[in-house]
Amino acid sequence: MKKWFTHNMGLKLIALGLAIITWIYVSGEILRNKKAQTFPQKSTTATP
Among positions 1-48, residues that touch other proteins (CB under 8 A) are 8, 11-12, 14-16, 18-23, 25, 27-28
CB of 15 to other proteins, least distance (A): 4
DSSP three-state, residue 48: coil
Cα–Cα distances in Å, from 37 out to 6, 15, 22, 28?
Answer: 45, 33, 23, 14
- CA nearest neighbour of 22 among 32, 14, 34: 14
CB of 44 to other proteins, least distance (A): 19
Chain residues binding other proteins by CB under 8 A are: 8, 11-12, 14-16, 18-23, 25, 27-28
